[in-house]
Structure 1
Amino acid sequence: MTQQDGSAHPRTEGEHSTTTVEQGRFCLARCTCGWRGPARRARSMARTDGELHTGG
């Protein structure tokens, strides 16, 4: 079962919006631009990957 953390926002040109997605025992960050972070066991690390991707 896949769960998402955060809400979906309409994408504007050049804007990145990340969410975390659970896949089995792992969690990963995904971005509206198509980027995917590495699979992590800790949700906090996946969120950090997403923040680093967006420059936050």
Structure 2
Amino acid sequence: MTQQDGPPEPQHRTTTVEQGRFCLARCTCGWRGPARRARSQARTDAESHANST
């Protein structure tokens, strides 16, 4: 059994959300990406955010 120092690191779980003609990325930490017309760009924004921490 291992002990942890302090609380565990929060995981960033991202999703993409459609809003009319736009798509944006959101994260469970409260981060929200810019509205994009291309879903692929919104997914890239989400991936970049999740990997930046």
Scaled to the shorter chain, the TM-score interval is 0.7 to 0.9
Using the size of structure 1 for normalisation, the TM-score is 0.75
Which structure 1 segments of 5+ residues have no match? 1-11
Of the three residues 27, 30, 33, the one matched with 1:34 is 30
Contiguous gaps of at least 5 residues in structure 2? 1-7
Report percent identity of matched pairs: 78
- After superposition, the C-alpha distances for 1:6-56 in whole angstroms (9 at most, x for unaligned) are xxxxxx751000000000000000000000000000000000000000007
TM-score normalised by the chain length of structure 2: 0.79
Partner of 1:44: 40
RMSD value, Cα: 1.6
Runs of at least 4 residues off by over 6 Å: none
Q: What is the aligned length? A: 45
Q: Give the structure with higher Rg (CA).
A: 2
